[in-house]
């Protein structure tokens, strides 16, 4: 019994040291896992950026390259010829057809407008394409005769559409920011899980405040044609 007071503190110290060693090792392992995870995330970001940059030069939504609008699945063009607003704007804006968004001529008023803040357009691509990104373009506030761009789309969802089976696959949701560059490119989920589509659906869920209509100036669709083997050739930008 006389040795117990001396044995107990020594055993407790050994137990504490052992516990500290185990916890330190766990912490070291955790730090190594975090470092490894960060490296993987960094590599994934680099891969995504490289893939996006390599495909963004190709635009599959050019009318001159064979892209067309699926009118039956597209919102009706806004007709405002009887309103006071159109009488004010008649000198620089007239109703344009949906395929205006498939042409490179972007200038104030040369856009496709649909009624309200919600609408959609379905683009029929000239080939089946592995979709990687989509570009939306509007005009700047400085270029707008009204000094505003409240008719620009805001919240947008992109779907890949398989015409044969009438299936729609959500590829991404994003916000077009009128405070940033007028031409904005957004990567799609299809980049990592590729599947080729013959149509692209652009669903506009809201705009920047115009209660009458929403304008889309230009849409570009980026990706790689299904039957290309290692080649990135396609229509010019």
For 51-70, what is each residue's pLDDT tens digit?
A: 555 555 789 999 999 999 99
Residues 6+ apart with CB under 8 A from 159: 168, 169, 170, 171, 200, 201, 203
- Give percent of the chain with pLDDT exceeding 70: 73
Does residue 105 come out as left (phi exceeding 0), alpha (psi in the -120 to 50 range) or beta?
A: beta
Q: Confidence band (pLDDT; 50, 70, 90) for 32?
A: confident
Nearest to 138 by CA among 33, 217, 22: 217
Query: Which of these CATH numbers, 2.60.120.260, 2.102.10.10, 3.40.50.2300, 1.10.10.10, describes 63-225?
Result: 2.60.120.260
* 233, pLDDT greater than 90: no
* 91, pLDDT greater than 80: no
Q: Residue 226 gets which letter from DSSP?
A: T
Identify which of 33-42, 116-125, 181-190, 224-233 has the greatest average pLDDT.
Answer: 116-125
Alpha-carbon distance of 214 to 221, in angstroms, equals 20
pTM over 0.75: no
Q: Confidence band (pLDDT; 50, 70, 90) for 235?
A: very low
Alpha-carbon distance of 65 to 129, in angstroms, equals 14
* 236, pLDDT greater than 50: no
Domain ranges of the chain: 10-56, 63-225
């Amino acid at each position: 019994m006389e040795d117990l007071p001396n044995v107990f503190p020594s055993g407790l110290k050994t137990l504490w040291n052992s516990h500290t060693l185990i916890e330190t090792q766990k912490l070291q392992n955790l730090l190594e896992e975090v470092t490894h995870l960060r490296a993987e995330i960094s590599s994934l970001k680099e891969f995504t950026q490289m893939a996006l940059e390599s495909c963004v030069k190709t635009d599959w939504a050019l009318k001159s390259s064979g892209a067309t609008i699926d009118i039956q699945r597209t919102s009706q063009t806004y007709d405002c010829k009887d309103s006071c607003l159109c009488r004010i704007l008649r000198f620089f804006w007239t109703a344009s057809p949906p395929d205006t968004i498939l042409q490179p001529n972007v200038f104030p008023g040369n856009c496709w407008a649909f009624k309200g803040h919600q609408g959609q357009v379905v683009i029929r691509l000239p080939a089946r394409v592995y979709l990687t990104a989509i570009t939306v373009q509007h005009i700047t506030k400085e270029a707008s005769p009204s000094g505003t761009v409240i008719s620009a789309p805001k919240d947008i969802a992109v779907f890949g559409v398989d015409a044969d089976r009438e299936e729609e696959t959500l590829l991404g949701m994003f916000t077009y920011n009128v405070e940033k560059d007028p031409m904005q490119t957004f990567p799609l989920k299809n980049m990592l899980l590729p599947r080729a589509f013959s149509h692209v659906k652009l669903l506009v869920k809201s705009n920047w405040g115009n209660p009458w209509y929403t304008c889309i100036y230009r849409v570009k669709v980026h990706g790689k044609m299904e039957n290309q083997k290692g080649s990135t050739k396609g229509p010019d930008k």
